[in-house]
Amino acid sequence: MPTIAHAALAAPVDLNGPGHYLNWGVIQISVANLVVIAVMVVVFLAAVLLPFPKGRGRK
Partner 1 sequence: MSAREQPGATEPDEASGWTAAVRRRAVRALPPDKLLPDTQPRYMASWIYVFGVLTLAAFLVALGSGAVLAIQGPAWWHTSGIGHFFNSLHLWSVELFMAFMVIHLWGKFFMAAWRGRRALTWITGAVAFLGSIGTAFTGYLAQQNLDSQWIAVESKDALNAVGIGAYFDPMNFGQMLMWHIVLLPAVVGILIAAHLLMVRRRGIVPPLPLPGTDTDEPEEQP
Partner 2 sequence: MSRRPRAAEPDPYSFGSRPYDLVKEFTIALILVLGLSIVLAALFSSPDEHPATIATWAKTDSADFTATALAELDGSSGTAQYGPPYNNATQGQKLGPVAPANLIGVTKPIDTAHDFVLGPLTSSPQTPAAAAALTRYTHAGTDQQNTWTGNYSTALDNANGDPAKIAPGDYGPVPTLLTALLAQAQAGSLDGQLLTESGAFYQTDYTLPLLLLADGSYLAALAGQDHLAGTQWGMMNETGSYPGQAWLWLYTFWYQVSPYNHSTNGDALVWGTMAALSLIFVFVPFIPGLRSIPRYIPVYRLIWRQHYRELREHDGT
Among partner 1, partner 2, none, what binds residue 6 when CB lies within 5 to 8 Å by partner kind?
A: partner 1
For 17-37, give one letter per residue: b (16+ CB within 10 A) or e: eeeeeeeeeeeeeeeeeeeee
The closest alpha carbon to 35, from 43, 27, 45, belongs to: 43
Subset of 4-43 contacting partner 1 (CB under 8 A): 4, 6, 8-9, 11, 36, 39-40, 43
Residues contributing to the site for partner 1 (CB under 8 A): 1, 3-4, 6, 8-9, 11, 36, 39-40, 43-44, 46-48, 50, 52, 54-55, 58-59
